[in-house]
Amino acid sequence: MPKDDPEITKLKNELQSLIQKFQDAQKTAADTTLETVCGSMSDVPKIRMTTKKVLKGHINKVTCCDFAGDSRHVVSGSLDGKLIIWDAWTGNKVQVIPLRSAWVMSSVFAKSGNFVACGGMDNMCTVYDLNNRDSSGSAKIVRELAGYEGFLSCSRFFDDKKIITGSGDTRLTVWDLESGKKLQEINCAHAGDVCSMSMSSDQNTLVTGSVDRTMKVWDMRDMTCQQTFFGHESDVNSVCMHPSGFAFCSASEDKTARLFDIRADQQIGLYRPPTSNSGFTSSGLSRSGRYLFAGSDDSTVHVWDIAKAQHVGNMQGHENRITSLSVSENGMAVATGSWDNYVKIWL
Amino acid sequence: MVSMSTERKNASRPTSSPDINCDRLQNNGVAKWNDNNKEKFQPHEESPNQIVYRKMEHIVERMQDENNGVPVKTVKNFMTKVPSVFTGADLINWMVRNIDVLDQVEALHLAHLMAAHGYYFPIEEHILTVKNDNTLYRFQTPYFWPSNCWEPDNTDYAVYLCKRTMQNKTRLELADYEAENLARLQKMFARKWEFIFMQAEAQSRVDKKRDKLERKILDSQERAFWDVHRPVPGCVNTTEVDIRKACRMNRPMRNVSLRHHSIGIAGGRLSPPPLPEISASPAEQLQKEIEALRKRIARTTVKVSKVSEAQISFAEQYKEYDPFLVASDPPNPWISDSTDLWDLEKHAKELTNKRVRRWAFSLHELLNDPLGREHFVKYLEKEFSSENLRFWEAVQDLKQLHQRAVATRSREIWSEFLGTEATCPVNIDSKSLEATRLAMDNPDRWTFDRAAGHVYHLMRSDSYSRFLRSEMYKELLTGSRKKTSVKGILAIVPFSNK
């Protein structure tokens, strides 16, 4: 360890004192806990959610799933190289889209239901138009967005013409789908792979989670990082914005799920299941924000009441780890995709 | 380099007792692999998999208990004896009696999960699943348990498949997928195939010396082991790691200052972790960190008590719109098996009180609902302030336009709303106006975003709040209330519910 010269020592001391100041400030701000304030709220009923529909059709692990804006259609991507669009109510497959690369890690629906985007180990994001077919009869590829140096881990549509993606090369990129050009690119958005992202309903705020254990909140208008949140002890696998837009939940490899508030700039909830064995891979919040769902490596989805910080149940039925979870827009159902090749609809 | 089993010398010859217990099997579970593999026997530290394996093994040990476990017997089948098996039904019954499971369905599910990891297996099949009937199963020897952190490589698999082909027994014939695998491996290891062949020969020589029943058992256990690590195509491989994490194992994360990670924890550690090694330009790096921290401290944050209250009010407000808390009306399509909900939404002309009240939550909610938007437009027209909403909507529509039309449309928008001779001028601050004017040199879809944001804010604070206090809105509230039934009113008027 090289000997520090006086300037560096001075800086280090300054840093230490600032750290101390910051921690004190945080403690004063944390004048109470969420559970205490919510003490007067009525308890919510225990979750007895069961599988209402099993969407069978994939022949390999399902790695991602997403509800459409109509809360009826679901897109799921699997390592068998197919994207399937389901009508979740009847259980029928509306479309099957064969992919050029089987290693798909992310698939999302545009809110309008006209487009789906997917990508993965092929380091590309491919956007399909569901209303137009190409010569072979499957959905037409509208855009193939290339230029990533790492795998595509997550993406979100702003609208039918704009999409933002997070990738393994630690970048966030915003694309204009019509011209196929990058509108904005943030290099080193995180210190490690960007694993997951979630947008607020007014599309002004984005929260991203990464393997560097942090979560960042971005202002979409000027694409700057507004805040960084710490607290997790291992990879943050999934983040989900609270419907109010002022908080978000996260699920991590460190076997906890947490709730962070953007205005208070700190963690306000920590949730562990009763038998804490496995990391969490995916998360979601109910329409009122009261329930937090987290899909886990132990094949169940754990549910907590965030106000009382109580574990209110878990959803069992999958036979292998849950890879993705999506709550429908109107809050009526939860879709989960798992390594057991099925997508299940719960309510 | 062939190693003979050292442990075999210690093993006692098994008697014809039907209950061959684990210990003996372990001794006879020959160290067929090279001595190098012995290091792999040490289980790793507390990885999550190990915790789960320990739990499963605890249950399996109970199952194998001689007195209270699952009844294991030797079944006589025509001319042959099937040693050391139990039926699926016995297994499920035992589980229901001895483990905390709700019912047979859950027991079956749990049994299936444990089979998938290889703790017991069906003797006739490659697919590791459990059926609640007279299908026969056998326990896996602890030597082959997943907790021993086997990561058998393709060479071992090749030796195993090769050995199978050397033995002329029908029950040892290769399945289709195994034959394919063998062909593939032969290609892969073409150069060292002799070595593999030699090993296979040596192993089968050792096997031949063993007692027939014992061989049956060991062969089946070895096959089950490979069913776990090289599963039938189409089956789940429980030994697999998420490919995203697997990618990272070879790529170390960038060296970053993780010092601040302790700060974010509410009431977290007081002393920061030891300072990491400082790379080039240490002074600069420190400076940057100091700056970042200063900014964080300077930022105004809200107290947790306040945000908690905000959370509560949000949750309460949206409680009845959360189908998990309050059953929706018309009912959830998956529960009622009818698509009433979606059909009604499509043709929605009727105003329920619930719907009207939602408009008061935020401007976003109001504009989201097409009927709400219609009423708002009518109100604005009465007040002669509809240009704000029209401008905002024009900007949103611009974003959806085809590239070709963007330039012309933006000029139209400019001349209609923002220009000096605008037909319907909107009121925005001079800064935004200047910025937009500059951007008009290269108009694109997002030129007006800043101005639109300003207008939205104005609408929200001015027109929207007046709308909520207006006679029109009040009439909508009461009018819709009258339409609902008595039952509906009881649901609306909030009773304190505990």
Residue of B nearest to A334 (CA): B324
Residue B466 has pLDDT above 80, yes or no: yes
Under the banding of pLDDT at 50, 70 and 90, the label for residue B266 is very low
> What is the mean pLDDT of the segment spanning A118-129?
90
At residue A334, the pLDDT reads 92
**In B, residues 440-479, which contact A (CB 8 Å cutoff)?**
445, 449-450, 453
What sign does the CA torsion over B395, B397, B402, B408 have?
negative
**In B, residues 169-188, which contact A (CB 8 Å cutoff)?**
none
> What is the mean pLDDT of the segment spanning B349-372?
80
Under the banding of pLDDT at 50, 70 and 90, the label for residue B48 is low
- The CA distance from B427 to the nearest CA of chain A, in Å, is 21
Partners of A304 in beta bridges? A292, A311
Contact A266 B264 (CB under 8 A): yes
B304 touches chain A (CB under 8 A): yes
Lowest-pLDDT range, A153-157, A272-276, B342-346? B342-346
Contact B244 A47 (CB under 8 A): no
Residue type, A68: A
Asked whether this complex has an ipTM greater than 0.95, the answer is: no
Q: Which two tokens stand for residue A221?
A: 């208008």
The 10s digit of each residue's pLDDT in A29-56 is: 777 777 777 777 777 777 778 888 899 9
At residue B31, the pLDDT reads 33
Under the banding of pLDDT at 50, 70 and 90, the label for residue A116 is very high
At residue B19, the pLDDT reads 32
Lowest-pLDDT range, A18-27, A235-244, B187-196, B210-219? A18-27
The 10s digit of each residue's pLDDT in A280-299 is: 999 999 888 889 999 998 88
- Coil, strand or helix: which one is A248? strand
Q: Which of B236, B253, B325 sits opposite A288 (nearest CB)?
A: B325
> What is the mean pLDDT of the segment spanning A1-7?
63
> Which strand ranges, in their side-by-side order, compose the sheet holding B136-139?
B73-77, B80-87, B136-139, B120-122
B47 touches chain A (CB under 8 A): no
Contact B334 A72 (CB under 8 A): no
Instruction: Name which of A58, A55, A159 is nearest A99 in CA terms.
Output: A58
At residue A282, the pLDDT reads 93
At residue A86, the pLDDT reads 93
pTM for this entry = 0.68
- The CA distance from A94 to the nearest CA of chain B, in Å, is 17
Residue type, B412: E
At residue B7, the pLDDT reads 33
C-alpha to C-alpha distance for B477 and B469, rounded to whole angstroms: 11
Contact A268 B265 (CB under 8 A): no
B313 touches chain A (CB under 8 A): no
- The CA distance from B282 to the nearest CA of chain A, in Å, is 7
Under the banding of pLDDT at 50, 70 and 90, the label for residue A115 is very high
Contact B261 A316 (CB under 8 A): no
**In A, residues 213-242, which contact B (CB 8 Å cutoff)?**
213-214, 221, 227-231, 235
Lowest-pLDDT range, A161-175, A227-241, B2-16? B2-16
Query: What is the number of CB-based contacts under 8 A between chain A and chain B?
Result: 254
Arithmetic mean of pLDDT over chain B: 72
The 10s digit of each residue's pLDDT in A333-342 is: 999 999 999 9
Under the banding of pLDDT at 50, 70 and 90, the label for residue B247 is low
B331 touches chain A (CB under 8 A): no
Under the banding of pLDDT at 50, 70 and 90, the label for residue B44 is very low
Under the banding of pLDDT at 50, 70 and 90, the label for residue A187 is confident
At residue B237, the pLDDT reads 66
B296 touches chain A (CB under 8 A): yes
At residue A63, the pLDDT reads 92
> What is the mean pLDDT of the segment spanning B425-429?
80
Contact B323 A161 (CB under 8 A): no
B277 touches chain A (CB under 8 A): yes
Contact B322 A290 (CB under 8 A): yes
Residue of A nearest to B236 (CA): A340
A185 touches chain B (CB under 8 A): no
Question: What percentage of chain A carries pLDDT values higher than 90?
Answer: 34
- Coil, strand or helix: which one is B262? helix
**In B, residues 356-375, which contact A (CB 8 Å cutoff)?**
364
Partners of B367 in beta bridges? none
At residue B408, the pLDDT reads 86
Query: For the range B15-23, what are the long-range contacts, defined as Cβ-Cβ under 8 Å and sequence gap of 24 or more?
Result: B16/B213, B18/B72, B18/B73, B18/B74, B18/B83, B18/B84, B19/B66, B19/B72, B19/B73, B19/B84, B20/B83, B20/B84, B20/B214, B20/B217, B21/B64, B21/B66, B22/B64, B22/B139, B22/B141, B22/B142
At residue A335, the pLDDT reads 94
Arithmetic mean of pLDDT over chain A: 87
Q: Which residue has the tokens 């519910």?
A: B497
> What is the mean pLDDT of the segment spanning A183-203?
88
Contact A72 B342 (CB under 8 A): yes
At residue B158, the pLDDT reads 86
The 10s digit of each residue's pLDDT in B272-285 is: 333 333 344 677 77
Residue of A nearest to B298 (CA): A22
At residue A325, the pLDDT reads 94
More confidently predicted of A304 and B171 = A304
Contact A288 B301 (CB under 8 A): no
